[in-house]
Amino acid sequence: MSANHDQQMYYDFDLLSKLVVGIGEVADITGVPTRKIRYWEDKGIVRSVQEADGSTRRYDYLNIKKIVLVQELLEDGYTLDAAARKVEDRMKNINDIFQKIADKQNTPQP
C-alpha cells in the first residue's frame, strides 16, 4: 500500500456503500444474535433498510458498524443506552470531521 492510496480507497468506499446484508448474515459475522439485533432496533439504536419487495431487515455498513461498536462497549460494562449514545457521538464526530475536509476542498483558499 504505497503508490495508489487513492485508487485503493475508491474501491473500499465503492464496496462499503453497496454492502447491505440480511440480519442472519450480520448475526453470523458479528456474533450478535438476530434476536438481539431486532431488540436494539426496537429501542431505536440501529436502523434497518428494507427492500421494496421483501419485508426482511437488511443493514448497511454504517449500522453493521454500529452493531459491532455497541457490542464492544456492552462487553466493557456500558449500559445499552450509554453505549448507544457513545457510538452515536463518535460516528457524528467522524462525520463532522470528514464534512469539514470536504468543505475545505470545495473552497480552496487564495
In terms of CB distance, is 18 or 35 closer to DNA? 35
Give me 7's grid cell: 485508487
Residue 22 sits in the site that holds DNA (CB under 7 A): yes
Residue 5 sits in the site that holds DNA (CB under 7 A): no
Residue 36 sits in the site that holds DNA (CB under 7 A): yes
Sign of CA dihedral 30, 33, 36, 38: positive
Within 10 Å of residue 16's Cβ, how many Cβ atoms?
13
Contact 80, 90 (CB under 8 A): no
In terms of CB distance, is 24 or 90 closer to DNA? 24
User: Which residues in this chain contact DNA in the complex, by CB under 7 A?
Assistant: 22-25, 27, 33-36, 38-40, 48, 55-57, 74, 79-81
